[in-house]
Structure 1
Amino acid sequence: MSAPPAEGLVQQWESEQTRLRQQVLDHDTEDWQKSPVFSGLERVGGVDLSFIKGDDTRACAQLVVLSYPDLKLLYEDSRMVTLTAPYVAGFLAFRETPFLLEALQRLQQKQPRLQPQVVFVDGNGLFHHREFGLACHLGVLSGLPCVGVAKNLLQVQGVFKSEEHQSQIAALQKGGDSFPLTSASGKVLGKALRSSDKSFKPVYVSVGHRISLDAAVRLTLSCCRYRVPEPIRQADYRSREYLRSRFPAADSGSGE
């Protein structure tokens, strides 16, 4: 068990989140985002970190770029990294963003024509304690449109896994149905989306950067063959396979 971080570090991170939060754009900035069929969108990215089970510092940082709309693999980057920042709830981005950003920068240097036009992040965006989750952090620092898609509900700002929440999930009849994640103050921070007819458990979509919530939800749905959008699913799968091939004795686990 790692030691708790110094109070000064958490205060520094809070200040940095507040500063960067002011740069988030939660509206559509690209023409393709305003198209009903995302005309002009050709490349979608996905990022994820997978850890060796029992080791919370060594991980595989993964980037994939898929074609759109057929979701074929165009590019992948798998790299072992060592995380040095401590894990603190609400500050996951300070552990993971540097390595995901480096993967995007390597792509820009090696094959800039394959740079994704939007990046799916396995985590939250504005649906966060301070409205600045991993998808926002990566979006602001990379300058790319980002969408946060979480598999589990982050219970923040008055949104809880309550009976009401469960009844809202039960009311999602088909793929594409959704309901807003509304904070105690009345602000919509994201949406719970039933992403497939075959999946009863929703995903939680929120804006990362340079895209509206409506476009983020529509795009997430259009990228889902299964419950999780294909860019994130492929990033998760390929990072786990990378670990299995190098550490066959250890099971891998995906990051939060």
Structure 2
Amino acid sequence: MFAPPGEDLVNQWESEQARLRLQVIEEDTEDWQRSPDFSGLERVGGVDLSFIKGDDINACAQLVVLSYPDLEVLYEDSQMVTLTAPYIAGFLAFRETPFLLEALQRLERNQPTLLPQVVFVDGNGLFHYREFGLACHLGVLSGLPCVGVAKNLLQVQGVYKNEEHQSQIAALQKGGDSFPLTAASGKVLGKALRSSNKSSKPVYVSVGHKISVDTAVRLTHSCCRYRVPEPIRQADCLSREYLRTQFP
């Protein structure tokens, strides 16, 4: 178990987030992002960490790269890692980013032609207490376009899981429908997306880096066979499978 971090460390993390936040690009930077059918996009990545039950220190850091638009696995990397930071709401990136970044760097060194053109992150991007979640952190440090996709609503900056939010969810008729997650300041921090016709529970999509929110939502929907986009779903499945076989 980790001891709770001291005030100094939390302040250090906050200032690091503020410094890196200035580098986030919240618009489309790649030609494929501007194409109606994402022409030119061939590889989409997904990252995730899975834990051994009852152990919050040892985890499997997973990177997968899928073909686009077929969503077939081209590359997978499962690595056991030992976490060095505790989980604290709003600071997940300091716990997970180093290992996910290492996986991307390993791929770039060993098989650069398979490097993903965009990475889906199981977590939030701008939809965060300080507008700098895990997807932003990984995006800025890797230099790759990143999209944050969370399964649960982070109640932050005036966005609440209240009756109004529930009625907006109920109004999503079909896969691809979405509504904005608007902060008290009026800024749209992300969107709730009904990702498939089969799933009435939305996912929460936000910009990580080098992509606009509308493109991020459209791309997420195009990568969904089920509720969770395939790059994240495959990363989750493969990391759990790895733990099952290595630590039965």
TM bucket (normalised to shorter chain) is over 0.9
In the alignment, what sits opposite 1:179?
179
Determine whether 1:97 maps to 2:97: yes
What is the alpha-carbon distance in structure 2 between the residues aligned to residue 2 and residue 238 of structure 1?
27
What is the alpha-carbon distance in structure 2 between the residues aligned to residue 170 and residue 17 of structure 1?
35
Give the superposition deviation at 1:2: 3.2
In the alignment, what sits opposite 2:58?
58
After the TM superposition, which residues 56-95 of structure 1 pair with which residues of structure 2 at under 5 Å, given as runs?
56-95=56-95
Give the superposition deviation at 1:232: 0.2
What is the alpha-carbon distance in structure 2 between the residues aligned to residue 83 and residue 53 of structure 1?
15
After the TM superposition, which residues 108-187 of structure 1 pair with which residues of structure 2 at under 5 Å, given as runs?
108-187=108-187
- How many residues are treated as equivalent by the alignment? 248
In the alignment, what sits opposite 1:240?
240
Q: So what's the TM-score if we normalise by structure 2?
A: 0.99
What is the alpha-carbon distance in structure 1 between the residues aligned to residue 14 and residue 185 of structure 2?
21
The one-letter amino acid paired with 2:35 is: S
CA offsets, 1:214-253, max 9 Å, x none?
11000000000000000000000000000000111xxxxx
In the alignment, what sits opposite 1:231?
231
Give the superposition deviation at 1:88: 1.3
Q: Secondary structure at the match of 1:214?
A: helix
Q: Secondary structure at the match of 2:24?
A: coil
What is the alpha-carbon distance in structure 2 between the residues aligned to residue 86 and residue 111 of structure 1?
32
Give the superposition deviation at 1:153: 0.3
What is the alpha-carbon distance in structure 1 between the residues aligned to residue 53 and residue 131 of structure 2?
30
In the alignment, what sits opposite 1:9?
9
Give the superposition deviation at 1:85: 1.0
CA offsets, 1:1-43, max 9 Å, x none?
5321011000000000000000000000000000000000000
Give the percent of matched residue pairs that are identical in Structure 1 and Structure 2: 85
In the alignment, what sits opposite 2:38?
38
What is the alpha-carbon distance in structure 1 between the residues aligned to residue 200 and residue 26 of structure 2?
28
- Alignment check: 8 A CA contact 2:2 2:85 kept: no
Structure 1 moving runs of 4+ over 6 Å? none
Q: So what's the TM-score if we normalise by structure 1?
A: 0.96
Q: CA RMSD in A?
A: 0.6
What is the alpha-carbon distance in structure 1 between the residues aligned to residue 203 and residue 89 of structure 2?
20
What is the alpha-carbon distance in structure 1 between the residues aligned to residue 47 and residue 6 of structure 2?
29
CA offsets, 1:96-140, max 9 Å, x none?
000000000000011000000000000000000000000000000
Give the superposition deviation at 1:87: 1.5
